[in-house]
Each structure stands twice: as C-alpha cells, then as structure tokens.
Chains A and B, each alone.
Chain A
Amino acid sequence: MGRYAIRRLLQAVPVLLGSTLLIFLIVFALPGDPIVSLGGDRRPSPSVVEVLTEQYHLDEPLLVQYWHYIGGVLFRADLGSTYQGVPVADLLASTFQVTLRLTLMALAIEAVVGVGLGVWAALRRGKAVDTMILAATLVLVSVPTLVTGFVLQLVLGVKLKQWTGLDVFPVSGVGDGLRGYILPAFVLAGLSIAYLARLARTSLAEVLRADYIRTAVAKGMPRGRVITRHALRNALIPVVTYLGADVGTLMGGAVITEGIFNLPGLGNLLFRGVYERQQPVVVGVVTLLVLVYIVCNLIVDMLYAVLDPRIRYE
C-alpha cells in the first residue's frame, strides 16, 4: 500500500504543473492592466508603470512569463509576490489557516448532523421522521448558499441579538476566536449535510436488508449491537469516502461563504486576486486547492482499503 501511495503522489506532480499553467493562462487572458489598476481611480505615473511592468516581466511573452514564475517556484521555493510586493507565501499561510478552520468545522458539522439525520431516517424508514428528513434535505439542496448564508446571518447574527440581547453569533469576521466560525461553517456545510444525510440513509437502509444482518439477528445479537457493529460498520464505508472527498469541495465552496461573512481566508484572497488580476496569487491559491483535493482523494482511497478488507492496492 505504501508503494501505491508513492505512485499516486508522483502522478500528482504533472497534475499540479498542468493546473498552474492552466490558471496562469486564464488569468493572462483576463482583460485590463493590473499595474495600471493598482492606483485605483488615479492613474499611476508612466514611469512607475514602466518600472513595475518590467519588474514583474509583464511585457514579455506569455511562456517566458510562465517560466519566470514556475522557475521561481521550483528552484527558489518562491511563490512570487503581489504587485504591491507582499509575498504570496505569507498570504497563503495566513489565509489557509482561516479556511482550514472553517472547513474542518464544517466537516465536523456535516459528519455529525448529516450522518445523524441519515441514520435516524433509515431506522424509521417510511415513518413521519423519515419523510420530514427527506423533505428538509430536498429544500436544503434546492436553496443556494447565498440565500442560506444571508438569511442565517440576518436572523441568527443580527436579529437574535436585537431580540434577546445575547451576542451568540458574530455577524462577520474572526475576532472572537472559534465562535466566529460557527455560523459560516453551518452555511458552508448546508448542502453537504443534505447530500450526506441522503447517502447515509440509503446506504444504511440497504445494509439493513443484507443477509449478514439477518445472520447477526439469528445469532441472537441484541438490536443495538446489530445496528452499531454489524450494519453501521458496512453502511458508513461510502459515507466516510464521501466525507473525505468533500474536504476539497468545502474549501472551494468557502469562496462564497467567506465573502458573506467577511472571513480573511483563501476564498477571499482568491476573489481579490482575480479582481485585481494578481497572477501569482490566483495561481498559488488554486494550486493549493488542487493539492488539497489530490491529497484528500489519496487519503480516501487508503481509508477505503482500511474500511473494506475486500479492497487491496498493489
């Protein structure tokens, strides 16, 4: 399995290089001159523009520009800097921890609420609870994050304080430690909770019909043990793999959530990067997201072999 992991990581190298080139091209194709727009409404003096354009190789052909960038990354471990001179590595380091906290909290919420609802529904299949959970998850997948985000921000962040005087959820920012992450994490996890609940429900309902569950009952195992040991151990295999693969999706989805709640994370950085045509920033953020995605998928595949003894990697 170790050899398999190494092979998979080596396969990731061309994927990462390819994605840097692709993003580089896309940002290059964006209209407007990033140096000129640095000054906002006031045009910077032509000499300043000239110096900066030369400093960042913006007057050279596309492939030469890319070579300057990727050469710096590969040979000097230099991720470049913004056109204001801030190193991209520093920006990534400070924003990544915000997004990571947000993502992990969303993942925890997703796992607990999603699996909980799914299992509850599966054990009460066809009953009122099951129907309600199915309807609720359907509503949740149908409403865009923008809507749930602003509504929750308004109701729980603003109105709750006005009505009760209690400051439970900060409206925005990360000033209050982890407390500021709770509401955004719920918003970010919303869609995934719905998918995961449905997946867990289907998976458990199917496993509960399996022959080996009948065997466990025939062995005289108490119902609780049949469900928690025999059924859940099998039913959670697809659930765990979905959760793992969802880490990447959550990080990508953080762009909108971080925007709504004004969290200084990767998503916000990416948004500003695209807006200001900061090539090294956009390439850095997206490549980091691709890397996270690749690593998560690898971990999921490894986990799969651990959870299901029928799967072996050579």
Chain B
Amino acid sequence: MRTATETPLLAVDDLHVEFRTRAGVVKAVNGVSYSLNAGETLAVLGESGSGKSVTAQAVMGILDTPPAAVTGGQIRFKGTDLLQLSEEARTRIRGEGIAMIFQDALSALNPVFTVGWQISEMFRVHRGMSKRDAMKKAVELMDRVRIPAARERVNDYPHQFSGGMRQRIMIAMAIALDPELLIADEPTTALDVTVQAQIMELLAELRRESGMALILITHDLGVVADVADRIAVMYGGRIVEHAPVHDLYRSPAHPYTRGLLESIPRVDLKGRELHAIAGMPPSPLDLPGGCAFHPRCPYRRAACASDVPPLYQVGWTRGSACHYWREVLDAGRR
C-alpha cells in the first residue's frame, strides 16, 4: 500500500509543543512523528493529557499561542511545512485541505447563528458563493449527513437539535469543501452509545465515498477497531506504539498498550475483578525521566528510569518505544 517514493498526505515529524503557564512549562508534545497517506485512517489513542488533541490542534493551527508554542519539528501537508507558512496561507488550508470536528458539538457550534448560516458560511467565505446558492448547498450537505427534514430545519439554531444531530451538523460543516484530511477529535465521546455507533458509521461511509484521510482521536479502544487502518498510541506526549490495527490488537508491543487492552471489560470474564493499569497518569508539568510510563510499568528495569526509549522498529510496519518490546510481544503471544 505504501511506497517509499510517495509523498504522504500528512507527515508530522518530531513535533514539540509546550504550554508556558504560571505553574511552569508544560511539555505537552515531545517529539511526535506520524504520517498518513491519502485515504488512510489513523487512530490516535491515549488518555487525557497524553498530547493527542494538542498534536491535532498543532496540525490544524488552532492552538492558543501563547500560552502554547510549537518549539520544534515539522508538519508537512502534501510536502509543505505548515509551520513555515504565513497565517493567511494556513487560514486558506483550514476547511479547504484539512477540516476538524470536535468533541462537544453544542459548544462547538455558535449559539446565535442558524445551522444553515454556519454551514453555508463555508461556501460564502471560501468560494464566494451567493447567500441563496450557499444555503442550497447547506441543505444538500444536511441531507448527506442524513439529518431528517433538512430543508425545514436549515433555519433552526444549534440548541434545537439533539446531540447526535448537532455532531452531524459539525460533520456537514467539516466536509463542505471536500477536504483531503478530516481530523475528528473524540467525535463520539459526548454521545449515547447507540448514537456513537451511528456517527462512526457515518464517518466511515463519508470517508469511503470521498476518499479523504481521517485522523480519529479517541480514548475508546472499541471505537477504533472497525474504522482505523493504523493506530498510534500516545502517552506522556510521545507515541509509544504504532501499528496496523489488527497487529496491535493481536499482540501489543508496548506495556501501556497491553495494559489498555487488558482494561477492556470482557463478558467471558464477568464477575472477576476488572483489570486496571496501576498508578495514575503522570502530570505533564512533571513527567518522569526516562520512559514516562516506567513508574506504572510491570516490565520496568533500572534503564527505564534513565534512558528515553526511541521508537524501535518492530517488524516492517510497526514501532514500539519500549526497551523490552520483545518481552512484551512474546508475553502477548503466549
């Protein structure tokens, strides 16, 4: 699928992001690299504070600077480093090339404008369409994300819709200009389980139809399995493991991933104590030295506290940032 000569759609290379707060410098992202080809779906998995959303916001260029600052690395979109572009050039790429949807659609939609106005704004501002034509396009889009009675509801306000419908409106807005990359930042976290499935299905379908690439940020392992091609697991502002989705589920090569997979409640083990990763996620203000996961890791040795593990190549297609990845991999196979 991937050839060495092909330029990836998006390549994040050794990205560093800091937040300068009164309490000190928070190193939110510490050397994240990933790449994504056209049409591919990458899931970025991690708990709160792992840096997964911050990485996405850096790609989108919507970090609040200050307090945030990108202190190193490159973000290449179709070969161009976005970090070197002027603000005007980046504004043009947002919405046209890369679009984003957010966790809480109610607060992410402007309460004082109708949903039709907010969707059609994409066409009016980016394409210079007339109000009437842009509204027609908005209705088409609302149909496309399967909002019932789109024509009647186009002049309703966000608060008049249900949570699932609001997220559909966000999606309609994001896909309006056929972006090549859609970043979905926990798109289903705020929704009911049944609605979650519908939204994921819609995203998968739209992706198939349009051939856009998708970065799916989530902390929900269940959401990922059906949709993603590859998974990147983040911890303490780093990618600790990346792998094709089935390899990762079958045999994790990092103790953290392994812990996550074991934490999923299983019906066949009903009645037994739920497994949890020991300890608490580290404060990004004060990350442990060496491997950030070592205080919670069942595999830890002396070296883990002092040496930051590089992302070791595990086979052709995957990587693990654990000094003892072989052991973890073997333990999983047994």
The answer to whether A218 touches B157, judged by C-beta atoms less than 8 angstroms apart, is: no
The answer to whether A308 touches B62, judged by C-beta atoms less than 8 angstroms apart, is: no
The 8 A CB mask of A220-259 against B (1 = contact, 0 = none) is 1111010000100110010000000000000000000000
The answer to whether A212 touches B157, judged by C-beta atoms less than 8 angstroms apart, is: no
- Among A221, A223, A233, A234, residue most surrounded by chain B Cβ atoms (within 10 Å): A221
Asked if A219 CB lies within 8 Å of chain B CBs, one says: yes
The answer to whether A310 touches B122, judged by C-beta atoms less than 8 angstroms apart, is: no
Q: Given that A211-B102, A234-B110 are contacting pairs, would A220 and B126 also be in contact in the complex, using a CB cutoff of 8 Å?
A: yes
Among candidates B62, B87, B91, B107, residue contacting A212 with C-beta atoms closer than 8 Å: B107
The answer to whether B94 touches A211, judged by C-beta atoms less than 8 angstroms apart, is: no
The answer to whether A219 touches B107, judged by C-beta atoms less than 8 angstroms apart, is: no
Asked if A140 CB lies within 8 Å of chain B CBs, one says: no
Cα distance A30–B60 in the bound complex, in angstroms: 71
Residue of B nearest to A307 (CB): B112
Q: Given that A212-B108, A310-B111 are contacting pairs, would A218 and B62 also be in contact in the complex, using a CB cutoff of 8 Å?
A: yes
Query: In the complex, which residues of chain B have a beta carbon less than 8 angstroms from the beta carbon of A309?
Result: 111-112, 157, 159
Cα distance A210–B94 in the bound complex, in angstroms: 19
Cα distance A308–B157 in the bound complex, in angstroms: 10
Cα distance A214–B113 in the bound complex, in angstroms: 15
The answer to whether A215 touches B112, judged by C-beta atoms less than 8 angstroms apart, is: no
Q: Given that A225-B125, A309-B157, A310-B159 are contacting pairs, would A218 and B100 also be in contact in the complex, using a CB cutoff of 8 Å?
A: yes
The 8 A CB mask of B80-108 against A (1 = contact, 0 = none) is 00000001100111111001101010011
Asked if A303 CB lies within 8 Å of chain B CBs, one says: no
Q: How far is the CB of A204 from chain B (nearest CB, A)?
A: 14
Q: How far is the CB of A241 from chain B (nearest CB, A)?
A: 14
Q: How far is the CB of B175 from chain A (nearest CB, A)?
A: 12
Q: How far is the CB of B234 from chain A (nearest CB, A)?
A: 21
Asked if A288 CB lies within 8 Å of chain B CBs, one says: no
Asked if A108 CB lies within 8 Å of chain B CBs, one says: no
Q: Given that A211-B107, A310-B159 are contacting pairs, would A218 and B112 also be in contact in the complex, using a CB cutoff of 8 Å?
A: no
Query: In the complex, which residues of chain A have a beta carbon less than 8 angstroms from the beta carbon of B125?
Result: 220-222, 225
Query: In the complex, which residues of chain A have a beta carbon less than 8 angstroms from the beta carbon of B111?
Result: 212, 234, 308-310
The answer to whether B112 touches A308, judged by C-beta atoms less than 8 angstroms apart, is: yes
The answer to whether A234 touches B112, judged by C-beta atoms less than 8 angstroms apart, is: yes
Q: How far is the CB of B181 from chain A (nearest CB, A)?
A: 12
Asked if B147 CB lies within 8 Å of chain A CBs, one says: no
Cα distance A216–B109 in the bound complex, in angstroms: 9
The answer to whether B112 touches A220, judged by C-beta atoms less than 8 angstroms apart, is: no
Query: In the complex, which residues of chain B have a beta carbon less than 8 angstroms from the beta carbon of A212?
Result: 107-111
Asked if B18 CB lies within 8 Å of chain A CBs, one says: no
Asked if A63 CB lies within 8 Å of chain B CBs, one says: no
Asked if B173 CB lies within 8 Å of chain A CBs, one says: yes
The answer to whether A310 touches B94, judged by C-beta atoms less than 8 angstroms apart, is: no
The answer to whether A219 touches B157, judged by C-beta atoms less than 8 angstroms apart, is: no
Cα distance A60–B6 in the bound complex, in angstroms: 103
Query: In the complex, which residues of chain B have a beta carbon less than 8 angstroms from the beta carbon of A211?
Result: 102, 104, 107-108
Query: In the complex, which residues of chain A have a beta carbon less than 8 angstroms from the beta carbon of B121?
Result: 219, 221
The answer to whether A218 touches B60, judged by C-beta atoms less than 8 angstroms apart, is: yes
The answer to whether A215 touches B110, judged by C-beta atoms less than 8 angstroms apart, is: yes
Cα distance A33–B99 in the bound complex, in angstroms: 79
Cα distance A310–B108 in the bound complex, in angstroms: 15
Residue of A nearest to B179 (CB): A220
The 8 A CB mask of A298-311 against B (1 = contact, 0 = none) is 00000000011110
The answer to whether A222 touches B91, judged by C-beta atoms less than 8 angstroms apart, is: yes
Query: In the complex, which residues of chain B have a beta carbon less than 8 angstroms from the beta carbon of A214?
Result: 62, 102, 108
Residue of B nearest to A213 (CB): B110
Query: In the complex, which residues of chain B have a beta carbon less than 8 angstroms from the beta carbon of A218?
Result: 60, 62, 94-95, 99-100
Q: How far is the CB of A185 from chain B (nearest CB, A)?
A: 31
The answer to whether B62 touches A220, judged by C-beta atoms less than 8 angstroms apart, is: no
Cα distance A218–B118 in the bound complex, in angstroms: 13
Q: How far is the CB of A303 from chain B (nearest CB, A)?
A: 13
The 8 A CB mask of A34-70 against B (1 = contact, 0 = none) is 0000000000000000000000000000000000000
The 10 closest A-B pairs by CB, nearest first: A220-B95, A220-B94, A211-B107, A212-B110, A309-B157, A218-B100, A211-B108, A215-B108, A219-B95, A217-B62
Give 11 A-B contacts (CB < 8 Å), ordered by A residue. A211-B102, A212-B108, A212-B110, A214-B108, A215-B109, A220-B126, A221-B121, A222-B91, A222-B125, A223-B87, A230-B110
Interface residues of chain A, those whose CB is within 8 Å of chain B, are: 210-212, 214-223, 225, 230, 233-234, 237, 307-310
